Structure 1
Amino acid sequence: MDWLRDHLWETWLGVSIALALAELLSLDLFLLMLAGGALAGMGTALVTDSVVVQVLVASAAALLLLVGVRPPLVRRLHGGPDLVLGPASLVGARGILTEAVAEHRPGRVKIGGESWLAVSADGEAAIALGRTVEVVSIVGATAHVRSLPEPPSLSSAPPSDTD
């Protein structure tokens, strides 16, 4: 016990290194915050010989790191964009109708090189062949689509004054 009392900063450093190495096994960032608290205890041991003050500073630093630093760090490291697979990845995609959609008869739409059964999503009675549509949802093997507005044609452009 006398060695620990005479070498307090080395003890805090050893505890900090041990916690940081243990963090490599858990990868939860909990032990790393405790290691940061131990480093604060080491810094306090360099300034004062009071073990009570060192423990209080180490505890407060670890608590602040756990509450203030760990949550945003975990969100940043463990979060990311949601991966959408399968038919759900087609929602929002555009396609071309290869068979017209009638009121009570589905048509077909080509989306990303695949042909899907298509029905109107927003109550349109019919969507003409060759129209560009957007996928609103996929239900089973049927794409619910809505017609997109036609781009303005070149013939409706105002005449130019270059004649």
Structure 2
Amino acid sequence: MLEWLSENWWVAWLVLAGGLAVSEMLTLDMTLLMLAGGALAGAGAALVFPGLLWVHILVAAVVAVALLGLLRPEILKRLHQGRGYRSTFDQLLGSTGRSAGEITASGGEAIVNGETWSARSWDGEPIAPGVAVEVIEVDGLTIVVHPQHKPLG
């Protein structure tokens, strides 16, 4: 088995590339996909230079670093500038939830989309626990909320 593997490193590189590409579907960060590209290049090097493991590793590392440093930033920039893209914070605006405890002008917590967020009251009026709230603004990692049933003043 070990002898076969030393002659067929390309199979191990392809398995690694496939595993990284499939794992990318869980993260959607484009990092594992770039590493999969490096592993694919390592498989190509293993076909050309079957007995030189250090060449496979070197080629895989150089290609992965190049993809991470050159291609990934460009892909992410185009993706984030694409039509209809909204970041997680942008998606919070206008969302509704419930106050987890009392929310004041200085702080509190609200549950929005099943997640607990630090929150503060938009107009400074305290909001009682369990009240339906709407996200008016995102200030860093704190959402600014207003009771849904109360008109904005």
Shift of 1:5: 1.1
In structure 2, how many angstroms separate the alpha carbons of the residues matched to 1:3 and 1:26? 34
Count the aligned residue pairs.
Answer: 88
Residue number among 65, 70, 75 corresponding to 2:72 in the alignment: 70
SS in 2 for 1:77: helix
SS in 1 for 2:12: helix
Compute the TM-score of the two structures, normalised by the length of structure 2.
0.51
Aligned to 1:56: 58
Aligned to 2:24: 23
Which 5+ residue runs of structure 2 have no aligned equivalent? 95-151
Question: Which amino acid letter does the alignment assign opposite residue 69 of structure 1?
Answer: L
Shift of 1:6: 2.4
* Counterparts of residues 9-158 of structure 1 (less than 5 Å): 9-48=10-49, 49-80=51-82
In structure 1, how many angstroms separate the alpha carbons of the residues matched to 2:78 and 2:12? 32
In structure 1, how many angstroms separate the alpha carbons of the residues matched to 2:4 and 2:12? 9
Instruction: Determine which structure has more spread, i.e. the larger CA radius of gyration.
Output: 1
Does the alignment pair 1:7 with 2:8?
A: yes
Identity %: 47
Shift of 1:78: 2.6
In structure 2, how many angstroms separate the alpha carbons of the residues matched to 1:55 and 1:74? 27
In structure 2, how many angstroms separate the alpha carbons of the residues matched to 1:80 and 1:50? 43
Shift of 1:32: 0.2
Question: Which amino acid letter does the alignment assign opposite residue 42 of structure 2?
Answer: G
In structure 2, how many angstroms separate the alpha carbons of the residues matched to 1:7 and 1:80? 42
Shift of 1:75: 1.0
Point out 4+ residue stretches in structure 1 off by more than 4 angstroms: 80-86
Computed over aligned residues only, the root mean square deviation of the Cα atoms, in angstroms, reads 2.4
